[in-house]
Structure 1
Amino acid sequence: MTETQDLAGTGAIITGSSRGIGAATAQLIAARGAGVVINYRQKAPRAKKVVAQIDEAGGRAVAVGADLTEAAGAKSLVDAAVENFGSLDLLILNASGGMESDRGEDYALKLNRDAQVQMLRAALDVMPRGAQVVFVTSHQAHFINETATMDAYEPVARSKRAGEDALVAMIPELDEKGITLTIVSGDMIEGTITATLLERAEPGAIDARREAAGKLYSVEEFAAEIASTVNRDGLAQGHVELVGGAEDFLSRQG
């Protein structure tokens, strides 16, 4: 391990971490010493591969299958962090969805708002003072009330914004417990399933977004930005970290 071990002796949960941004973030957090719960819904072999990569690099990780839309799923992740790593000091809420065609009309809101709150509430039962919660979102969601997005993504964007608002509404409770909420918002990310599904629904959408933003981050680049907010000194409660392309959104707001 070559990274600074500032997270040594801590336990972390990263939801939706069997692939993509969550998996890349998990590897970065594990490299800093945290024991990481890798969460997956169905793809156990993929999650176990992430665990193996972390183990080979000298880190600690465990894969746990859990459906975040179920209370039992959230509790199983919390239990795994405490049982395997002794504590839960970091919760990265990365899992999201809603563009799937087979999950029902209300799935986006159920996952992107209700499950996020449920996961945090389960975590609050064990998180100590000084712990951190990181909510990962997109500019398309964060700015949806001021800036329209692609038609195919709008239901997801609105549900993710609803999730962000619900978590922010919990800040008084987090303050009482000495726990910090950080929000990390990024543009569309190259190579993610969301970008692939959007391109299918609206051909040319990703190229148009890349041109407007000037650049779209890769999975690894965005994961590094998420990880950079973890354990960062001086972060205010509810801080919003805008990553890539935000200037474009802010200029549209005037």
Structure 2
Amino acid sequence: MSTTFDGRVALITGGSRGIGAAIARRLAEAGATVAINYRSNAGAADELVEELRAHGHRAEAFGGDVTDPARIADVVARVVEEFGALHLLASNAGIEHFAPLADITLADFENVFRTNVGGQLFAVQAAAAVMPPGSRIVLTSSVSARTAVHRHTLYAASKAAVSAMALNLAPELAEAGIAINAVAPGGTATDMAAENGADYVHPALAGVEPQQVTRSMNALGRLARPDEIADAVAFLLSQNASYITGSTLDVAGGWMR
């Protein structure tokens, strides 16, 4: 089955780089008008917009911090004002966190949950208020929600909450004709992963080649490419997934449980 988004307007939060940028490219290539939300990296967002426009796609960047409900509501309002509607939401904005239990602070907790959980909840709240029936939403969870990763507790807990959110919002949003699901990526080759990569390794694996560590973590023995995650998001946003809602789809290369 083909995936086409002709006539559909998509908002991608955290869309300026990594998985978010890959989602924007994938949806634009399939015909969507894309609204690229960013928090601070205006330069990267503008570069992506210019890239997409150069290929004949309709795109615009919208600054706004998802951790502020008023700001994300304003982003949604500006998207609708600019493009006339909003049909698709890919909620991708999030932050990483690694720390031993003894070092986790209240500020860490509030920052991670405000971004990874609250940011997605209020993006859905704002989007669902303006979406017509037949619209679709995809949140970003993680395989960390069900897999023990060294010193990853706070991040993992926040992503488990995201999967619970998708499951529990499904019947409520179905009343409005809106489907909601989540993707759970495994390790993905992004800037954020590179910045935090050393923290993935348990001390017992110190000195082991990174490829060997990755091979021990999933069946395919490698990190995902951002476009592979984007393909899964595009599927869940498409009518090919018309009977799927409330689910979390692993996109993790056979991540070991």
Question: Same fold, TM exceeding 0.5?
Answer: yes
Which has the higher relative contact order, 1 or 2, with Cα contacts under 8 A spaced 6 or more apart? 2
1:186 aligned partner? 185
Pairwise CA distance, 1:127: 0.5
The correspondence for 1:91, drawn from 89, 92, 105, is: 89
Any idea what SS the aligned residue of 2:141 has?
A: strand
Mapped contact 1:98–1:156 kept (Cα < 8 A):
yes
Q: Structure 1 residues 158 and 150, CA, compared in 2 at 3 Å: closer, same or farther?
A: same
Please list the CA deviations of residues 57-80 of structure 1 after superposition, one character each: whole Å capped at 9, or x if unmatched. Answer: 111111111000101221122112
The reply to whether residue 222 of structure 1 matches residue 229 of structure 2 is: yes
CA RMSD in angstroms comes to: 2.4
Please list the CA deviations of residues 170-201 of structure 1 after superposition, one character each: whole Å capped at 9, or x if unmatched. Answer: 22211111110122112110234134313257
The correspondence for 1:132, drawn from 112, 128, 136, is: 136
Mapped contact 1:192–1:219 kept (Cα < 8 A):
no
CA distance in 1 between partners of 2:239 and 2:23 (Å): 15
Please list the CA deviations of residues 103-151 of structure 1 after superposition, one character each: whole Å capped at 9, or x if unmatched. Answer: 931211111111211111111110111100011222112x1xxx32221
Letter in 2 for 1:64: F
Mapped contact 1:210–1:216 kept (Cα < 8 A):
no
Mapped contact 2:11–2:86 kept (Cα < 8 A):
yes
2:102 aligned partner? none
The reply to whether residue 166 of structure 1 matches residue 171 of structure 2 is: no
The reply to whether residue 149 of structure 1 matches residue 149 of structure 2 is: yes
CA distance in 2 between partners of 1:184 and 1:27 (Å): 17
1:8 aligned partner? 6
CA distance in 2 between partners of 1:230 and 1:248 (Å): 27
In structure 1, stretches of 5+ residues that fail to align are 250-254
Any idea what SS the aligned residue of 1:79 has?
A: helix
2:53 aligned partner? 55
User: What TM-score do the two structures reach when normalised by structure 2?
Assistant: 0.85
CA distance in 2 between partners of 1:63 and 1:100 (Å): 30
Bigger shift: 182-191 or 45-54? 182-191
1:236 aligned partner? 244
Q: Paired residues, what number?
A: 241
Letter in 2 for 1:165: A
1:252 aligned partner? none
User: What TM-score do the two structures reach when normalised by structure 1?
Assistant: 0.86
CA distance in 2 between partners of 1:72 and 1:97 (Å): 20
Tell me the percent identity. 32
Q: Structure 1 residues 97 and 13, CA, compared in 2 at 3 Å: closer, same or farther?
A: same
Q: Structure 1 residues 217 and 201, CA, compared in 2 at 3 Å: closer, same or farther?
A: closer
Q: Structure 1 residues 16 and 220, CA, compared in 2 at 3 Å: closer, same or farther?
A: same
Q: Structure 1 residues 246 and 232, CA, compared in 2 at 3 Å: closer, same or farther?
A: farther
In structure 2, stretches of 5+ residues that fail to align are 100-105
